Structure 1
């Protein structure tokens, strides 16, 4: 498979590695050794990892191989993963991934203290680079996780998202990032805004993460009729959500991707006509007074009305393209993501064809509360029909 930058992927996806290890075509030890070699070869230019755990990872991989020899069933057997530094291996999601057979190989970089914009990962060797666009930010705060996956060092990395910190680096690095419905994972902050999630190379890997960390939890499939026949997904499109100023190239890339999906699949896209309130004040109030009363629920009510008539809401992932060292300027990179940290809706950022004047940007799909399974099925369909033909 080719990635959005046009060069060969350097490491198989998580699902492929797990299947190969489970069937005895390779071992966990070999898969982890490959990942460690990729980090040594590639991270000198990327600075995605602030620590690499060679010895521990090799020991853990050997333990996975031994468990498989005893007949253990491990759905992520031998899959090397990066772990967001601020999450660590003791986070709920990391512990679940390790229990499923994944092997953490190192800590991925996050912004250092006082880092403006929260989009540059910090390491002792320098800031984290964007593997898909020279000189551009990889996004944040899960900067190292996005860069490590995009560069082909690991197929999956843990992230966390309080305002878009999983989805933004996924968009700017041209990979996939998933924010689950709030409450499915323990909150990372008192306000309940920050939720863990994965950055991965494919939607199949995101689904594998979901099964390992969250359980199957398959809800009723609302995209099928009572007779069992699949109907057209109804997708509402909003470039701005009613309050953002969106870069023309970013909007065009997301519109083209959504249009291609509509042309080649059973998807019906309509303009949402949304006029939501800018959530900036509410988000900041919740962060500063996490036990206080929310500043209003008009956005939640409007979204509930929208999802009564549509299966999905689609937007660009960010209003702006990846910025350079000078920062985003007046653009609010979180402008299309942080509302859904307040409302709790599940969301996924998917790659689009990268405009030459923008660099990688993402298409964000949002589903109704607890419709995570349907969201990821739709994301997989988009990936198969829109991305696979040009992979």
Structure 2
């Protein structure tokens, strides 16, 4: 078997289905990788070693009987807030996934959620241990890019799938709001996953939707536009430049044609807070929602895709983000419901990954998955983090 940590979920499932390798062997490899990584990474809150091996043994039994499982023997981490009874976890296990543990999430001691907590300390970014992996799906992103699992569950109420995906160098898709069960009464929090390959992202969402496959959008040249700041965000210039260059690669290769189009929105911060039930200005929140929805409707009459940086700044240190609002480029699309994806765009001078966010019309996840696959072919990204020494890297970029 090829080195376990280099395999994506599609490859693992194919090996197990052909019985080239057993689900038990794959689970053992994942657990060994987890054991090696955890003293430093701190990505898991709970270990399921015994249950994982028992589940893998059962998968081998049903595969031997000829049952088709689309994710046969694929080890996964599950976001601790979701657990084993969550809709997403149930669906993934039904298709053959093996849960090896619950991944870290923040504690409620901070207003900011871009970190993960374990009893051994905060979860670290697999690229730089002095930085956070993002959140709230912190452990999921760290575990995927440390090579522990090829897929880990996430949820996105303001950017909690896309932000850690961006900061750890992975793919994170937020599907259209309403297509899948949400975790909150406001309907903002959408199930998702952190993965390393575009084909894993496509397989994952097709399993959740109960579809045989998410069709890749036809090969027409997509009309796209770029916005560095959505009209209201203070964005680090390096983040914007790297993300814009990734969009440029897609344009240069003929996959998209960039157009000048107005993509200025109202700042949704207070509206998001009110919609979540933590504010009193529901009338004002609805006004912001309606104005932004109208502007996005007009925008998507002219283009197929909106590109932005995923985050306004690089991963912050473990002490917090300071005045930077890490969700400022993502949460508008939780309110509007548009599908959005973070795709690896490159690396900043400090060694940390940068994400390109792509947003499409409601229900057009296939467009986003096509773009992820196109960029993966054009500009292949590392499928596993390459840790750097924080002392040898520039320290001026992260904000306090």
Which TM-score band applies after superposition, normalised by the shorter structure? over 0.9
Q: Do 1:217 and 1:373's aligned partners in 2 also have CA atoms closer than 8 Å?
A: no
For 2:191 and 2:44, the matched residues in 1 are separated by 19
For 1:101 and 1:163, the matched residues in 2 are separated by 30
Aligned residues: 378
Residue aligning to 2:18: 23
Residue of 310, 318, 322 corresponding to 1:329: 322
Residue aligning to 1:204: 199
Residue of 52, 55, 64 corresponding to 1:57: 52
Distance change in 2, residues 1:9/1:253 (3 Å):
farther
Instruction: Report Cα offsets for 1:139-182 as digits up to 9, x if no partner.
Output: 00000001000101000000011000010000000111111100
Matched, 1:132 2:123: no
Residue aligning to 1:83: 78
Pairwise mapping of residues 1-391 of structure 1 onto structure 2 (< 5 A)? 10-216=5-211, 224=218, 230-288=219-277, 294-296=285-287, 297-357=290-350, 359-387=352-380
Distance change in 2, residues 1:289/1:128 (3 Å):
closer
For 2:25 and 2:132, the matched residues in 1 are separated by 32
Q: Do 1:171 and 1:363's aligned partners in 2 also have CA atoms closer than 8 Å?
A: yes
Superposition RMSD in Å:
2.1
Q: Calculate the TM-score normalised by the size of structure 1.
A: 0.92
Q: Calculate the TM-score normalised by the size of structure 2.
A: 0.90
Q: Do 1:47 and 1:144's aligned partners in 2 also have CA atoms closer than 8 Å?
A: yes
Aligned-partner SS, 1:185: coil
Q: Do 2:262 and 2:299's aligned partners in 1 also have CA atoms closer than 8 Å?
A: no
Distance change in 2, residues 1:169/1:112 (3 Å):
same
Distance change in 2, residues 1:338/1:127 (3 Å):
same
Instruction: Report Cα offsets for 1:258-289 as digits up to 9, x if no partner.
Output: 11221123321224332210001110110116
Instruction: Report Cα offsets for 1:33-59 as digits up to 9, x if no partner.
Output: 110010001111000011110000000
For 1:182 and 1:24, the matched residues in 2 are separated by 38
Instruction: Report Cα offsets for 1:313-366 as digits up to 9, x if no partner.
Output: 110000111111232222110000000000101111011110113621200011
For 1:61 and 1:22, the matched residues in 2 are separated by 13
Distance change in 2, residues 1:271/1:330 (3 Å):
farther
Farther off after superposition, 380-389 or 49-58: 380-389
Deviation of 1:113 after TM superposition, in Å, equals 2.7
Moved over 4 A (4+): 217-221, 289-294, 388-391
Q: Which runs of 5+ in 1 are unaligned?
A: 1-7, 225-229
For 2:179 and 2:349, the matched residues in 1 are separated by 38
Aligned-partner SS, 1:146: helix
Aligned-partner SS, 1:178: strand
